[in-house]
């Protein structure tokens, strides 16, 4: 049977691999040789799950959204990643990676961040473990995301502005990679999504897979079956989606719906809908779909949600798209903002704008009345308050 998981060399179909300069080879190789071994150690599993439980607050609830379901005439469950410590699923990965870094004997952590969610999640686990933390963030994003910059500083991290290129997430990622090249021995790079060279996409997906693992047992309890009919998640780089899809990837009966940000419209020139607009290429060491010029220069995406504002997608998602295993839907800024406000009014939950994209599909994508649809609510909207205020003139 065809599997949608990474093969030994980190390929998902034709996507993935490690397209890295030789300077990064030893770092990635050390990780590649050790990650599965370390993750399989009982002491690692024990520490990881203990922290997820006591520190992150897992398992997160699987909540039947009754009023939302009624409105769209189907059965909608929300996987409440918004209730994780720090406000999003990102911390599942940073907990896993900080434990990995410790076992690899690393004394220094670097990370990239766009909106600051992954930066905060990384700064948090570094504070927890007492490890030095440097977060690269585009100069433009630093100006746009002041509260998260302050959070990272309060948590003891150093926030370094990325001033190259377009001064946003992709450049922050470049800077983090450059830092890793310059500090190959003592530093671990905590990548924030299922992107980058092998083994990152697979490792991050495994750490996030706790989401679908929990969904299975929670759904069994509520519906008498482990498998939903559909799982829906937004895709920036694709980590919350990878976690939500993970245990259903090789179960064809479960429909997989990935939601990308169309920004101001797919063909507006201001969009982040990578599957629709991207072509095969190399970004941050991975062969995947990415937005680029005909000349192969990587272009700057746009979305109202900073977390979806990435010009590529993880290789898993490129494969889900190309193979047809996943259904890809893109949602505009306006559709997402309306769906976000809708959730506030109907369920009393203020979602992150990223997650609002996943919620926005119900307007046009119809489901059967008895379909069980799980939406991964990847984060809460506190960080987006200013955006909501500006958009709705609150």
Partner 1 sequence: MNRIKLKLQENKKILSIYFTAGYPSLNDTVKIIQDLEESGVDLIEIGLPFSDPLADGPTIQASSTAALKNGMTTTLLFEQLKDIRKSVSIPLILMGYFNPVLQYGVEEFCQKCEEIGIDGLILPDLPLDVYQEEYETIFKKHGLINVFLITPQTSDARIRAIDDASEGFIYMVSSASTTGTKEGFGTEQATYFERIAGMKLKNPQIVGFGISNAQTFQQATEQAKGAIIGSAFIKHLTQNGVNGIGGFVGQIR
Ligand X SMILES: Cc1ncc(COP(=O)(O)O)c(C=O)c1O
Catalytic residues: 90, 112, 378
Q: Least distance (Å) from partner 1 to the CB of residue 11? A: 11
DSSP per residue, 13-65:
TTEE-----GGGHHHHHHHHHHHHHHHHSHHHHHHHHHHIIIII-PSPPEEE-
Edge-to-edge order in the sheet of strand 187-190: 158-162, 132-138, 108-113, 187-190
How many angstroms separate the Cα of 159 from the Cα of each of 127, 270, 309, 335? Answer: 14, 28, 20, 33
Give the residues across from 240 on adjacent strands.
none
- 10 Å Cβ neighbour count for 221? 10
Per-residue interface string for the shown chain with partner 1, residues 175-214, x marking contact by CB under 8 A: --xx--xxxxx-----------------------------
The residue among 164 and 322 lying less far from partner 1, judged by its C-beta, is: 164
Tell me which H or E stretch contains 159: strand 158-162
Asked if 269 interacts with partner 1 (CB under 8 A), we say no
Residue 252 binding partner per list ligand X, partner 1, none, with a CB distance cut-off of 5 to 8 Å that depends on partner kind: none
Tell me which H or E stretch contains 123: helix 117-129
State which of residues 13, 25, 139, 160 lies at the interface with partner 1 (CB under 8 A). Answer: 25
- Signed CA dihedral, 39, 44, 45, 49: sign only: negative
Q: Least distance (Å) from partner 1 to the CB of residue 178? A: 5
Q: Least distance (Å) from ligand X to the CB of residue 76? A: 18
DSSP per residue, 162-199:
E-STTSSHHHHHHHHHHHHHH-TTTEEEE-SSS-SSTT
Give yes or no for a contact between 154 and 182, defined as CB atoms under 8 angstroms apart.
no
Asked if 372 interacts with partner 1 (CB under 8 A), we say no
Q: Which residues bind ligand X (CB under 6 A)?
A: 88, 90, 114-115, 117-118, 193, 234-241, 307-308, 352, 354-355, 378-379
The residue among 54 and 186 lying less far from partner 1, judged by its C-beta, is: 186
Distance CA 184, CA 163 (A): 22
Q: Least distance (Å) from partner 1 to the CB of residue 153? A: 25
Tell me which H or E stretch contains 240: helix 239-245
**R_g (Cα) of the chain, nearest Å:** 19
Asked if 298 interacts with partner 1 (CB under 8 A), we say yes
The residue among 108 and 338 lying less far from partner 1, judged by its C-beta, is: 108
Residue 298 binding partner per list ligand X, partner 1, none, with a CB distance cut-off of 5 to 8 Å that depends on partner kind: partner 1
Q: Least distance (Å) from partner 1 to the CB of residue 38? A: 21
Phi, psi of 137 (to 5 degrees): -145, 135
Name the one range near partner 1 by CB under 8 A: 105-113, 168-176, 206-214, 338-346. 168-176
State which of residues 10, 17, 96, 228 lies at the interface with partner 1 (CB under 8 A). Answer: 17
Distance CA 254, CA 296 (A): 36
The residue among 57 and 223 lying less far from ligand X, judged by its C-beta, is: 57
Asked if 8 interacts with partner 1 (CB under 8 A), we say no
State which of residues 165, 264, 327, 388 lies at the interface with partner 1 (CB under 8 A). Answer: 165
131 φψ region: left (φ > 0), alpha (ψ -120 to 50), beta (else): beta
Q: Least distance (Å) from ligand X to the CB of residue 135? A: 13
What's the distance, CA 177 to chain centroid? 18
Asked if 280 interacts with partner 1 (CB under 8 A), we say yes
State which of residues 283, 318, 331, 373 lies at the interface with partner 1 (CB under 8 A). Answer: 283
The residue among 112 and 333 lying less far from partner 1, judged by its C-beta, is: 112
Q: Which residues bind partner 1 (CB under 8 A)?
A: 17-23, 25-26, 164-165, 170-171, 174, 177-178, 181-185, 279-285, 292, 294-299
């Amino acid at each position: 049977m065809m599997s949608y998981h990474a093969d030994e060399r980190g390929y998902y179909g034709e996507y993935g691999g490690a397209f890295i300069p030789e300077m990064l080879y030893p770092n990635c190789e050390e990780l590649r040789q050790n990650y599965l071994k370390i993750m399989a150690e009982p002491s690692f599993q024990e520490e990881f799950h203990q922290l997820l439980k006591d520190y992150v607050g897992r398992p997160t609830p699987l909540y039947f959204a009754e009023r939302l379901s009624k409105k769209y005439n189907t059965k909608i469950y929300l996987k409440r990643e918004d209730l994780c410590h720090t406000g999003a699923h990102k911390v599942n990965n940073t907990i896993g990676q900080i434990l990995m870094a410790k076992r690899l004997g690393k004394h220094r952590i670097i990370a990239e961040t766009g909106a600051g969610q992954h930066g905060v999640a990384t700064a948090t686990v570094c504070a927890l473990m007492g490890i030095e933390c440097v977060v690269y963030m585009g100069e433009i994003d630093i100006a746009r995301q002041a509260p998260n910059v302050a959070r990272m500083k309060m948590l003891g991290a150093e926030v370094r502005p990325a001033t190259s290129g377009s001064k946003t997430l992709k450049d922050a990622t470049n800077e983090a990679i450059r830092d890793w090249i310059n500090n190959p021995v003592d530093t671990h790079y905590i990548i924030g999504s299922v992107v980058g060279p092998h083994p990152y996409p697979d490792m991050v997906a495994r750490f996030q897979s706790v989401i679908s693992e929990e969904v299975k047992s929670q759904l069994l309890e509520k519906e008498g079956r482990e498998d939903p009919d559909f799982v829906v998640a937004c895709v920036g780089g694709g980590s919350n989606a990878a976690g939500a899809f993970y245990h259903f990837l090789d179960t064809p009966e479960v429909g997989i719906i990935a939601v990308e940000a169309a920004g101001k419209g797919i063909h507006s020139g201001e969009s982040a809908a990578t599957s629709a607009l991207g072509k095969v290429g190399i970004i941050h060491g991975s062969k995947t779909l990415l937005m680029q010029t005909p000349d192969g220069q990587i272009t700057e995406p746009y979305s109202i949600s900073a977390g979806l504002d990435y010009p590529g997608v993880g290789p898993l998602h490129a494969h889900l798209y190309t193979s047809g295993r996943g259904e890809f839907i893109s949602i505009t800024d306006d559709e997402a903002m309306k769906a976000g406000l809708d959730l506030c009014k109907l369920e009393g939950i203020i979602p992150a704008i990223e997650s609002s994209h996943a919620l926005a599909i119900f307007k046009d994508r119809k489901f059967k009345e008895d379909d069980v649809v799980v939406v991964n609510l990847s984060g809460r909207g506190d960080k987006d308050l200013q955006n909501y205020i500006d958009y709705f003139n609150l």
